[in-house]
Every structure is written in C-alpha cells, then in structure tokens.
Amino acid sequence: MDTIQELMRVRAGIQDQLRESQSELQAVDTTIKLLQRERQSNIETTNTKEFAKGGLSDACRGILGSELVTPLQVRDRLMLGGYPAKSKSKLLSSVYATVKRLAMRGEIEAGKLGGKSAYRKKPPAQSGETTMETSV
C-alpha cells in the first residue's frame, strides 16, 4: 500500500511540473508572437527616442496592443524606447502602478499570462454591440 501512495505522490508532482511548464511555454509563445509582430512592423527598438518625452501613462498606452503583456515587458520596451529612468526597479514599480490604475479606470484590460498579471488594450466595440457588466 505504501508503494501505491508514493507513486500517487510522484504522479501528482509530475502533473504540477507539467502545468508549470505549460504555463511557461505559453509565456514564451506569447513573447515570440510579440517579437515577430515587432519584426514584421520593422520597428526600430534600439537607440530610439520613441518614449523619451511624454508621460508614463501615455507611454504605457502606446506599448499595449491586442496581446497580453506583463508590466516587466512594458518596462523593458519603455527602456528600449528611450524612456528616462534612473532605476529599472523604480520604473517597474511605476509601470505596475500605472497599468493597474489604467485597468481600474477601464482604459485597458487585465488578465494573466503565465500566471502573472498582464494587460492589453481593450478591443474596440463593434457597431451595434453593447457592453454589459455583470456582478457575481
């Protein structure tokens, strides 16, 4: 009986590892899609001054697209785009606060990507479509 219980524990551990690996794989796939989209758009990401001027909220809005991205990815894109930052960690904290505030205002959508908070632009409402909020 002990052998069966041990095998059941091993099986559960493997299943947990598999779920975690699948989540990481999804995050990698999403990142690949984002990089491919940037490459196809011929966006020059190195040494640009795209975000050198302007506020953080507008810069975050400019980065978010239809795919979910994490605040870490937003911060990295800001830095590549020339956003002025003295510290990576302080900028990341500011990005977290900014995207969370934008999501609370309903300007962007929040979701999960690889088990982590992620954000994207809200899809435009199609003509004739109404939005409805439900509470549970």
pLDDT tens, 57-99?
Answer: 988 998 998 899 999 999 988 888 888 888 888 999 999 999 9
- Residue 109 in 3-state DSSP? strand
Q: Which of 86, 74, 1 is closest to 31 using CA atoms?
A: 74
- Residue 34 in 3-state DSSP? helix
Listed ranges 1-5, 24-28, 84-88, 116-120; the one with the highest mean pLDDT: 116-120
What is the pTM (predicted TM-score) of this model? 0.56
For 44-59, how does the pLDDT look when each residue is reduced to its tens digit (9 = 90+)? 444 456 666 678 998 8
User: Does 114 score more than 70 pLDDT?
Assistant: yes
Give the Cα separation of 49 and 93 in Å (integer). Answer: 22
Query: Scanning the structure block, which residue is given the tokens 């954000």?
Result: 119
**Percent share of the chain, pLDDT over 70:** 79
Give the Cα separation of 68 and 6 in Å (integer). Answer: 39
